[in-house]
Amino acid sequence: MAQMKAKQMREKSSDELRQQEEDLRAQIFKLRFQQATGQAENPQRIGLARKDLARVLTILRERLTAGS
């Protein structure tokens, strides 16, 4: 999965971002499991997925505080 820019993420709806959050959490879990069992092909993918997750959570938080 290619890393997404914050600008691209802001164009998505909140529902799409929540779905992406779930997908990223599942991906991180799988990657950590692969790393623990020594099957990780690219350990850097965990860091990239975590950064994408942080971007999604930041945008969702911005929308939540802007709506208040």
**pLDDT single digits (tens) 15-39:** 999 999 999 999 999 999 999 999 9
Question: Is 48 a domain residue?
Answer: yes
Burial class of residue 43, CB neighbours in 10 A (0-12, 13-18, 19+): exposed
With respect to residue 59, please indicate whether it lies within any of the assigned structural domains: yes
Tell me the residue length of the chain: 68
62 within a domain of the structure (yes/no): yes
The reply to whether 4 falls in a domain is no
Residue 68's pLDDT is: 65
Question: Domains in the chain: how many in total?
Answer: 1
Give the domain extent around 51. Answer: 36-68
State pTM to two decimals. Answer: 0.86
